[in-house]
Structure formats: C-alpha cells, structure tokens
Amino acid sequence: MYKMASFRADAFLFKIIVVVNAVVICTAYVPATLPPDRSVNFVGAAKKLPPRGPGICNLEVPTIDLLTEADRRGPIPAGNGTKPGHSIISICCSGWKPKPHVANKCEPICDNGCVNGNCTAPNVCVCLPGYVRDLGNNCIPTCPKGCVHGVCTLQGTCSCSAGYTLDLKGQFCIPICTGGCGAGGNCTAPNVCSCKPGYKKVLATGKCDFNCEGGCPSGTHCVGPNECSCPAGFIKRNNACEAQCPRGCLNGLCTGPNQCTCPSGWTLDLTGTSCQAHCTQPCLNGDCTGPNVCTCKTGYIKDPSAPAGNRCVAHCPGGCLNGQCSGPNLCICNPGFIKNQGTNTCIRRMRRELHMELIPEQLNEFSRD
C-alpha cells in the first residue's frame, strides 16, 4: 500500500515538473474564468527564459490560469514570475501572429495583405523583384514583367495608354486628372477623382473640397472636414466659436462681439466694458465689491451696530481712552482732555492759578486804569 502511494506521488510530481519546464508560444492568454488552453504552459522557476526571436514577447500571468481544472485541485507549482503565484509565458507581440506549423516562431501581420511581396514587419510589405509599389500601396508588376495600363517596349520601359502617364520614377502608369483633384482627392482613373472622407466633389471643377455635413451657419464657410469658420467677431477655441470683446468685459461674460453681459447683481457701466457690483444700501467708508457686499477701506472696520454690513467705522488699534476714534488711528479728545504730546492718548487738562505778584508792575497799573 505504501509503495503504491509513493508511486502515485512520484508520478504526480513528475507531471508538475513536466508542466513547469515546458515552453511554448501561446496564441492568446486565457484567464481562469474560461476553459484553459492546453497549448499554453509557463516557464518553470528552475529554467532560464529561452532567447526570444523576432516578434516574441513575454507576459506575466497568474500561474493557476495556466493549469487545467483537474490540476488546479492539487498543489499549485511555483512560477518564475516577479510576483508570487505568477509565471512568465511567451506570446507573439502586437502586430505578429504564430507561424503555422512552426513551433516557437512568430511572423508579422500586414493588415491589407502583401500580394506580390513579403511582409517583413507589421504593416511593412516589401515587393518581390519585378514589382513596384503603386500609389495605392500595392505591389504591381513593372517592365519587363508587366505594365498595368500600358505595354512594355523593346527597351524594357513602360509605354502608358491614353489618359495615363508614367510616375516620377518611370516604373508604372498613373491616371491623369486635368487640373488635379485637390488636397482631399486621389486620381483613380483618367479625369476621375475619388474624394477622401470629409471631402466632397465640386461639380463645377470635379475636384474634392471640404465637406461640412448639414452646411455652415450664415456668415461662415467650410474650412475643413466638418469644420466651419467662425463669423466676424469670433475666434475658434477648443473646436468652438468664442465671442471676442477686445475692449474688455471686466466681471462679466462676453456673449457677442463687443457685447458684455453682467451676472445677476451687477450692472454694466457707461463704457460697456465693466460690470459693477450693485449694493441696495450705500457703502459708508467702503466700496461695493459684490452684490450687496461692502468692503471697508483701509483703516476702517465693519460697524457691529449696522446689521446690513454697509457701514464702516474708523479703526484705532490702540483704542481712544478719553476720546473718540474719528479717523484711521486718529483720536479726538473729549472735552476737558488734551492729547499727550507724541501719543494718541488723551489726558485730563490741568487748571493753572494766576499769581498777580508775578505780573510786572507796569502791566498791573495798566490794568487798574
């Protein structure tokens, strides 16, 4: 019985080791919520990553996602990822796909195919000898192999049919559109223009011009694919036409060319360029800085006895003992008090007695007369 259990344990460990050390390129990473892809295995922790060929990338995934449902019930093998419970698998990079019938190889993908050429990198098609790339990015034959829309002469050059002419390199024939097709069109046949998206053909000229679906408002015109110009007095900002007030619009919103609109509680001044706050009650010793908001001038504070907050009174930081604060840091003494020299303090006035004996005699006589 013990030998049988030992044999089963050894077989299970061997199975884990085989899975851990296997390396293949997978076509896609399959998360644990989907049936496992049996072609996907992970690199074992004891093995170094194999050298990567072109188009092969490594991806770190949870190790449990690489096991079958049955293997998930047993011990989870240690992976070789940078995080616990993760393993590194090899996959084809973006723009590449597994090469059919060849293990551990990836080949590039050219989305539009690569007829008469070799796809050497993602969306890079290299034409075969005897073929050249035309204006449509296709590989077409050139002389002496062939000459589309023309014939190969005895000199090995292409002689184009009527309505066609040689390209700048003299390798293939291209159609002629008299006057061109404009910036938004391609000449696809003699005097036939095909317009790109966002452009339409102008019947008078046959060229492709900007197309604005639904047209443009009065006073504007189409200046790009589905893009209208701004009327006079507006500029384009964030794909929208924004009114301009060059003279200014302080505290307001420019709603039209030189048209300043004030928010509630504000009124436009006579110049039409500034919105001034409106206070129902006047601000005494202050400025109306917002709707019914008075801001005291320097040296003044809000009068606590005015609940409306529209009256500011002078402020004397040191107080006015025996006096009244009549201006910023300015005390007026009460009757019977005078300013103490060099200070803002009021002190009681001292009475002085008149001593006649101290008055000169001549003045004394004058007073008797």
pLDDT tens-place string over residues 199-258: 999 988 889 999 998 888 887 889 999 888 998 899 988 878 899 999 999 999 999 999
Question: Which band of pLDDT confidence, cut at 50, 70 and 90, is reported for residue 342?
Answer: confident
Nearest to 210 by CA among 240, 182, 177: 182
Q: Are 158 and 150 in contact (CB under 8 A)?
A: yes
Q: Is residue 21 part of a domain?
A: no
Q: Is residue 227 part of a domain?
A: yes
Write down how long the chain is.
369
Pick 201 or 354 by higher pLDDT.
201
Q: Is residue 291 part of a domain?
A: no
- pLDDT (mean) for 294-304: 92
Q: Which residue, of 205, 228, 243, is where some domain finishes?
A: 243
Question: What is the value of pTM for the model shown?
Answer: 0.45
CA distance 104 to 57: 11
**DSSP per position, 195-207:** EPTTEEE-TTT--
Q: Are 190 and 177 in contact (CB under 8 A)?
A: yes
Eight-class DSSP state of 64: G
Q: Are 172 and 135 in contact (CB under 8 A)?
A: no
- pLDDT (mean) for 156-168: 93
Pick 299 or 21 by higher pLDDT.
299
Taking only the tens place, the pLDDT of each residue in 84-136 is 889 988 889 999 999 998 888 899 999 989 999 999 999 999 999 999 988 88
Q: Which residues, at least 6 apart from 268, have a Cβ–Cβ distance to it below 8 Å? A: 252, 260, 262, 274, 275, 276
CA distance 25 to 17: 19
Taking only the tens place, the pLDDT of each residue in 257-277 is 999 999 999 999 999 999 999
In the chain, which residue ranges form alpha helices assigned H by DSSP? 2-21, 361-368
For tokens 């060229």, what's the residue?
A: 207
First to last CA, the chain: 156
- Specify the number of domains making up the chain: 3
Pick 53 or 68 by higher pLDDT.
68
Q: Show the domain range for 327.
A: 316-350
CA distance 290 to 275: 10
Q: Is residue 237 part of a domain?
A: yes
Stated as kind and residue range, the H or E segment containing 59 is: strand 56-62
pLDDT in the model for residue 340: 84
Tell which phi-psi region holds residue 317, choosing left (phi > 0), alpha (psi between -120 and 50) or beta: alpha
Q: Which residue, of 75, 108, 141, is where some domain finishes?
A: 108
pLDDT in the model for residue 343: 82
Say if residue 39's pLDDT is above 50.
no
pLDDT in the model for residue 123: 92
Q: Is residue 232 part of a domain?
A: yes
Strand-pairing partners, residue 166, are 173
CA distance 43 to 56: 14
Q: Is residue 201 part of a domain?
A: yes
Q: Is residue 219 part of a domain?
A: yes
Q: Is residue 192 part of a domain?
A: yes
CA distances from 268 to 74, 247, 261, 297, 319 (A): 81, 13, 8, 23, 41
Q: Are 119 and 92 in contact (CB under 8 A)?
A: no
Pick 351 or 330 by higher pLDDT.
330
Q: Residue 245, SS3?
A: coil
Alpha carbon of residue 304 to chain centroid: 50
CA distances from 220 to 84, 184, 243, 256, 317 (A): 63, 20, 14, 16, 63
Say if residue 333's pLDDT is above 70.
yes
